[in-house]
């Protein structure tokens, strides 16, 4: 039997993140495979009540302290590293999200243990832990073996369905006393909420998603025209928002919004995992990309290999021609 | 104020990527290398800070194909010094790169004490760790990642940073400096620099080359890539073929079939 499997039960602003349940589902498989225990590690302040939803684990280690109220990587590492060094562990699954990013790398660096990022699957093969990872913006998959324990696995959203990681049964809870640094060098001050007033993408049935392939701000009008005839709204990838071609409120993905429209056009969007995370549950995805190997074609239901600038006027014209004039906004 | 920017070269993922005959790495032949996207933002943020507070920006990179062009472009944009580390271990290991960079930062004359060390938040090939927290850990410095805004207190003893959370929420942090930041995006899009200016920088500036120090953590690799394959060899999507008008008609049928038009 190898060491136990840990899953970082990511909580943020009083809620357990969905990826925690995905991690628990994957962790459960690993623990069952190796005959080890699955333990969820819940870090924060006044989080005890959240532990009850983590029953897929055999037990929950609860690290509760006022200084752990916000997920600051260095502060979390400070309390997790000694615990990791003290207990026998095969793997620690940590969500690769905007909340927890950095914790895994730092732990691995400090403890000199293997780390594998971008994992979408993991299993033991002949007693050795192997992970399947998505690299190069989603274009390449790698099968990676770890050499040593514990291994820190950075988990991508979507590794397992979250339902498989939920359980109505409350787990055993172990309160772990921790002593975080009283004068941390990184201090949380406040949250800045997103500006209100713009369309809420999450309420839209049709979204026209635009990526860097649109090339310039002027071409955004082509996407606006398509959205206009469809009665939808334009949104975009991080690249487009970072260029200032769309406001922050229109960003879809890991650090933007998670949307679930009936129809999502992905125009000149490569399909990087951070974007896909925000739109993969759309009802119908139609992707247009010049690169036949673009990862977005693996998410889309329909794909067009071609130039979006060339296609958009034709597509808008064709849809306009089919719609009754009254609907043509 | 002294700012170090770590620039990392990574394969251009917009190009076709091929697997090497070994089956465990990318084929470097014909592969275009570009500076990792968030590193470009790290440089931009450094230049913005220099404009705001004054000081000196040094860019630092491990030797890699086309890295000279990237370093000269950084000088042309306003960096003051460019350093290329030659002879470091190659391959996928970000942990090894971070070790080398941290050693150079810690030992190279004139690099420390630096107020800020800026890295990109994540590269497309950061398989065994992220460079910013690894460097911070090795140098014993504070770290904050996914940063999209940074400013420094007048006395220079602390920085304030904006970190991105999901759903467009941002968090404001106070960080004791010196510190390492993983930059996600600069406050403004990276500035454009015409090729002529890069050429001019090649004549007026020089890149300092230094040998890579021997790794302090010369251990057997902690992970092993067993196999690599293209992820989208058989895409899930049904590919629609034809002229723009032809595929547009087909899309209309699909949308009508789903009651979307
Ligand atoms: C911590 C973190 C959080 C992130 N959060 C997000 C997020 O919330 N949302 C997000 O989107 N990204 C996010 N990213 C960034 C993400 O990794 C990608 O960099 C980004 O999604 C890429 O955007 P893109 O597809 O528009 O650009 P690219 O990846 O550059 O792709 C452009 C695509 O356009 C195609 N193309 C080029 N010209 C044409 C043309 N004429 N016609 C058709 N196609 C064309 C190209 O083949 C390419 O596939 C995050 C990254 C990190 C590290």
pLDDT tens digit sequence for A247-276: 999 999 999 999 999 999 999 999 999 999
Best B255, B256, B257, B259 residue to mutate vs chain A (most A CBs within 10 Å): B255
Q: Do A191 and B164 touch (CB under 8 A)?
A: no
Q: Do B261 and A322 touch (CB under 8 A)?
A: yes
* Cβ atoms of residues A11 and A50 within 8 Å: yes
Task: Report whether pLDDT(B178) > 50.
Answer: yes
CB atoms within 10 A of CB A173: 15
* pLDDT for B112: 79
Distance from CA of B85 to the nearest CA of A (A): 21
Range of the domain at A155: 4-176
Residue with tokens 């969007």: A269
Could you tell me whether strands A140-146 and A59-64 are parallel, antiparallel, or unpaired per DSSP bridges? Answer: unpaired
Query: Averaged over B191-217, what is the pLDDT?
Result: 91
Residue with tokens 């860097």: A212
Is A98 found in the same domain as A221? no
pLDDT tens readout for residues B89-115:
776 689 999 999 999 999 877 887 899
Is A33 found in the same domain as A82? yes
Is A105 found in the same domain as A16? yes
Is A215 found in the same domain as A148? no
pLDDT tens readout for residues A137-192:
999 999 999 999 999 999 999 999 999 999 999 999 999 999 999 999 999 999 99
Taking CA–CA distances from A249, the nearest residue in chain B reads B168
Residue A188 lies in a domain: no
* pLDDT for B233: 62
Average pLDDT value over all residues in chain B: 92
Task: Give B-chain residues touching A305 at CB under 8 angstroms.
Answer: 239, 241
H or E element that contains A273? helix A273-276
Number of domains in chain A: 2
Is A205 found in the same domain as A169? no
Is A50 found in the same domain as A154? yes
Q: Could you tell me the distance, in angstroms and rounded to a whole number, from the CA of residue A300 to the centre of ligand 1?
A: 15
B146 lines ligand 1 (CB under 6 A): yes
> At CB < 8 A and 24+ separation, what contacts does B62-66 make?
B62/B8, B62/B9, B62/B88, B62/B97, B62/B100, B62/B101, B62/B212, B63/B87, B63/B88, B64/B9, B64/B33, B65/B9, B65/B28, B65/B33, B66/B9, B66/B32, B66/B33, B66/B34
* pLDDT for B153: 85
How does residue B30 score in pLDDT terms, banded at 50, 70 and 90? confident
A95 lines ligand 1 (CB under 6 A): no
Boundary of a domain, candidates A124, A159, A176: A176
* pLDDT for A329: 45
> How many residues comprise chain A?
329
Is A11 found in the same domain as A131? yes
Could you give the domains of chain B?
Answer: 2-211 (3.40.50.620)
Is A139 found in the same domain as A211? no
Is A240 found in the same domain as A139? no
Could you tell me whether strands A140-146 and B223-230 are parallel, antiparallel, or unpaired per DSSP bridges? Answer: antiparallel
Q: What's the CATH number where A215 sits?
A: 3.40.50.1220
How does residue B163 score in pLDDT terms, banded at 50, 70 and 90? very high
* pLDDT for A15: 96
Residue A194 lies in a domain: no
Query: Which of A254, A297, A318 is nearest residue B166 as measured by Cβ atoms?
Result: A254
Query: Averaged over B133-142, what is the pLDDT?
Result: 96
* pLDDT for A326: 55
Q: Do A302 and B166 touch (CB under 8 A)?
A: no
Residue A184 lies in a domain: no
Atom of ligand 1 nearest to the CA of A252: 9
pTM above 0.90, yes or no: yes
Is A94 found in the same domain as A167? yes
Is A27 found in the same domain as A169? yes
CA–CA gap between residue A28 and residue B170 (Å, rounded): 33
DSSP, collapsed to helix, strand or coil, labels residue B204 as helix
Task: Report whether pLDDT(B69) > 60.
Answer: yes
Distance from CA of B206 to the nearest CA of A (A): 31
Tell me which residues of chain A have a pLDDT lower than 70.
1, 324-329
Query: Which of B19, B166, B224 is nearest residue A97 as measured by Cβ atoms?
Result: B166
Is A159 found in the same domain as A11? yes
Residue A193 lies in a domain: no
Q: What's the CATH number where A146 sits?
A: 3.40.50.620
Closest CA to B43 of B201, B191, B193: B191
Residue A44 lies in a domain: yes
Atom of ligand 1 nearest to the CA of A98: 1
Q: Which residues pair with B152 in a beta bridge?
A: B159
CB atoms within 10 A of CB B203: 8
């Amino acid at each position: 039997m190898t060491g136990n499997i840990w899953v970082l039960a990511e909580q943020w602003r009083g809620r357990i993140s969905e990826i925690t349940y995905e991690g628990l589902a994957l962790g459960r498989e690993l623990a069952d495979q190796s005959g080890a225990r699955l333990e969820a590690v819940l870090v924060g302040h006044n989080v005890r009540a959240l532990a009850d939803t983590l029953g897929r684990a055999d037990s929950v280690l609860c690290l509760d302290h006022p200084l752990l109220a916000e997920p600051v990587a260095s502060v979390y590492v400070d309390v997790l590293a000694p615990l990791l060094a003290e207990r026998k562990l095969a793997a620690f699954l940590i969500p690769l999200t905007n909340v927890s990013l950095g914790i895994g790398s730092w732990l691995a660096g400090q403890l000199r243990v293997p780390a594998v990022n971008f994992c979408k699957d993991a299993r033991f093969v002949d007693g050795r832990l192997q992970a399947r990872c998505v690299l190069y913006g989603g274009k390449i998959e790698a099968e990676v073996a770890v050499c040593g324990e514990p291994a820190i696995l950075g988990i991508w959203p979507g590794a397992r369905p979250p339902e498989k990681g939920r359980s109505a049964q409350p787990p055993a809870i172990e309160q772990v006393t921790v002593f975080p640094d009283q004068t941390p060098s990184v201090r949380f001050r406040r949250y800045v909420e997103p500006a209100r007033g713009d369309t809420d993408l999450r309420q839209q049935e049709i979204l026209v998603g635009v990526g860097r392939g649109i090339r310039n701000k002027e071409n955004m009008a082509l996407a606006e025209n398509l959205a206009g005839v469809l009665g939808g709204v334009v949104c975009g990838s991080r690249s487009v928002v970072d260029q200032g071609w769309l406001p922050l409120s229109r960003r879809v993905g890991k650090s933007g919004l998670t949307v679930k429209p009936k129809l999502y056009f992905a125009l000149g969007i490569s399909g990087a995992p951070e974007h896909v995370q925000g739109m993969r549950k759309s009802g119908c995805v139609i992707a247009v990309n010049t690169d036949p190997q673009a990862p977005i074609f693996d998410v889309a239901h329909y794909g067009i290999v071609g130039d979006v600038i060339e296609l958009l006027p034709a597509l808008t014209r064709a849809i306009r021609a089919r719609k009754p004039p009254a609907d043509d906004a | 104020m002294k700012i170090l920017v770590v620039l990392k070269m990574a394969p251009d993922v917009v190009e076709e990527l091929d697997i090497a005959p070994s089956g465990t790495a990318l084929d470097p032949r014909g592969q275009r290398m570009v500076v990792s996207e968030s590193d470009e933002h790290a440089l931009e943020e450094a230049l913005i800070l220099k404009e705001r507070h004054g000081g000196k920006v040094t860019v630092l990179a491990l030797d890699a194909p086309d890295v000279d062009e990237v370093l000269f472009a950084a000088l042309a944009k306003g960096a003051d010094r460019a350093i290329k580390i030659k002879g470091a271990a190659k391959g996928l290991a970000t942990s090894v790169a971070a070790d080398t960079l941290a050693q150079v930062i810690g030992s190279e004359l004139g690099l420390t004490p630096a107020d800020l060390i800026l890295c990109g938040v994540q590269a497309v090939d950061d398989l065994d760790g992220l460079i910013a927290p690894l460097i911070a850990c090795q140098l014993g410095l504070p770290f904050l990642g996914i940063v999209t805004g940074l400013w420094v207190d007048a006395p220079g003893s602390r920085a304030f940073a904006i970190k991105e959370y999901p759903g467009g929420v941002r968090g404001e942090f106070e960080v004791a400096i010196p510190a390492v930041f993983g930059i996600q995006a600069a406050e403004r899009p990276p500035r454009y620099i015409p090729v002529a200016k890069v050429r001019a920088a090649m004549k007026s500036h020089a890149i300092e080359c230094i040998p890579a120090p021997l790794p302090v953590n010369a251990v057997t690799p902690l992970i092993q890539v067993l196999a690599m394959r293209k992820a989208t060899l058989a895409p899930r999507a049904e590919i629609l073929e034809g002229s723009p008008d032809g595929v547009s008609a087909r899309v209309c049928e699909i949308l009508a079939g789903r009651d979307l038009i």
